[in-house]
Amino acid sequence: MKIQHIFFDLDNTLWDHRKNAYLTIKDLFEKQEITLHYNIDFESFHTVYHEINERLWEQIRDGLIDKEYLRKHRFYDTFKHFGVDDEELSQYFEEHFLDKILNHNELVEGAEYILEYLKSKHYTLHVISNGFQEVTERKCILSGIDKYFKTITSADSVGVRKPNPKIFEYSLGLAEAHKEESILIGDDWIADVVGSQNFGLDVIFFDVYKENRQEEGLKVITHLLQIKEYL
């Protein structure tokens, strides 16, 4: 069956979460004069935050913690790493991070071009995100890419996250699409690639970090414009 429906992961596949998060945390860091008060270098702080945040998101994906735990700990644990045990300061960062990150809406290089290209080829486009429901749609709207999508599914809508097959089943049902005529494009090996494969959905792995994973028959890109080689 010919591909008709394309499902995109959002964060770091289309919407540049890493860059937008970096800029947001830098703004908050400077506003609170963290270097002056605590003698913490921003780049060191961000590196530790990134590692902690990635680990917590993996635990959310695996069902080990919930989003409330992540929100309570990602900044608190980062500050504590630098010897600053301050729940109020950590909560300030958390609350303002979620609000202010939407002031930065950088897209991954080539995102808008490839969405325009795929739309011109009459594919029907969708989003399946593991992000929080309250920000997923706003990210699409504020970055100007919402107009390309027929449906937007966030994990909170379903109560499970990729790679759980229920989120793929829900999203395909919402899209009125069949597996055989659908493909997913995403950057997370476990959530997107393994999740899609276990569900029986074709997938393109967006190898952002150039992990060079070898798997027979796997479609791999390192830049969004390479999608044109497959679709």
Q: Give pTM, 2 decimals.
A: 0.92
- Whole-angstrom distance, CA of residue 168 vs CA of residue 183: 11
Averaged over 82-89, what is the pLDDT? 98
* Mean pLDDT of the 92-96 span: 96
Whether the CA torsion 200, 201, 202, 207 is positive or negative: it is negative
**Confidence (pLDDT) at 101:** 93
Residue 120's Cβ-count burial label (10 Å; 0-12, 13-18, 19+) is: exposed
Q: Which domains does the chain have, with CATH numbers?
A: 5-15+107-229 (3.40.50.1000), 17-101 (1.10.150.240)
Average pLDDT over residues 212-217: 83
Kindly give the pairing relationship between strand 182-186 and strand 5-8.
parallel
* Confidence band, pLDDT 50/70/90 cuts, at residue 214: confident
State both tokens at 14: 């289309």
Q: Where are the alpha helices (DSSP H) in 121-181?
A: 133-142, 155-158, 165-175
pLDDT for 132 beyond 90 = no
- In this model, does residue 215 exceed pLDDT 90? no
The helices-and-strands tally (H runs, E runs) of the chain is 10, 6
Of 68, 33, 62, the closest CA to residue 194 belongs to: 62
What is the rounded average pLDDT of the residues 45-72?
94
